[in-house]
Amino acid sequence: MARYIAMFAAMTMASPALAASGPFFSLGNTNFIVLMAFIVFVGVVFYFKVPSLLGQKLDERAEGIKAELDEARALREEAQTLLASYERKQKEVQAQADRIVAHAKEEAAEAAEQAKEDLKTSIARRIQAAEDQIASAEANAVKEVRDKAIAIAVGAAKDVVAKQMTATEGNKLIDEAIGQVDAKLH
């Protein structure tokens, strides 16, 4: 209450009403009317406890702001926790990806070595098959040459024998051949 009286005294002392001419306490003096309206306004404000309502609203607002700050702080901590979790997971995933890449490189190197070995084996088989084909073709060619040589030799011998042989010599050779066959079969 003393606070209100001090405030009222300060308002009346600093009032421009002291500078007005004529009697101060008359309804013709505008300064007096303004002072009275102000005092009535201040009285109404205090009667309806506006200062305590304003204080209460400001306290509620301060508590709301404090709650929002606490919530924001909690959200920030939660966000930092999530960030740390995601960073840890990202590092784990990166490490796993590095392991997968290293394993894939090892497998690729092993596959390349296996492919080289398979290629060497395949080339060796093909070379062997080609050598076998060449040997077979060579044997066939030799056989064909022998067969042709034999056929030519037989033909030539036939011609020579036919020209030089007489019938009695031919019969004699036939009898000898029959004797040799008979001796070999029995």
Q: Is residue 6 part of a domain?
A: no
Q: What is the mean pLDDT of residues 172-177?
A: 81
pLDDT band at 17 (very low <50, low <70, confident <90, very high): very low
- Asked if 133 and 70 sit in the same domain, the reply is no
- Asked if 104 and 148 sit in the same domain, the reply is no
- Asked if 104 and 147 sit in the same domain, the reply is no
Rounded to an integer, what distance in angstroms lies between the CA atom of residue 166 and that of residue 38?
Answer: 175
pLDDT on residue 59: 96
- Asked if 99 and 122 sit in the same domain, the reply is no
- Asked if 118 and 106 sit in the same domain, the reply is no
**DSSP per residue over 36-92, as a string?**
HHHHHHHHHHHHTTHHHHHHHHHHHHHHHHHHHHHHHHHHHHHHHHHHHHHHHHHHH
- Asked if 33 and 97 sit in the same domain, the reply is yes
**Whether residue 154 has pLDDT greater than 90:** no
pLDDT on residue 170: 74
Q: Is residue 96 part of a domain?
A: yes
Residue 154 vs residue 33, higher pLDDT = 33
86-115: burial string, b at 16+ Cβ within 10 Å, e else? eeeeeeeeeeeeeeeeeeeeeeeeeeeeee
Residue 162 vs residue 29, higher pLDDT = 29
With 0.85 as the threshold, say if the pTM is over it.
Answer: no
- Asked if 107 and 119 sit in the same domain, the reply is no
**Whether residue 23 has pLDDT greater than 90:** no
Q: Is residue 156 part of a domain?
A: yes
- Asked if 45 and 90 sit in the same domain, the reply is yes
Q: Is residue 3 part of a domain?
A: no
Q: Which domain holds residue 136?
A: 114-166
Give me 40's structure tokens. 């009535």
**Whether residue 14 has pLDDT greater than 80:** no
Rounded to an integer, what distance in angstroms lies between the CA atom of residue 141 and that of residue 134?
Answer: 10
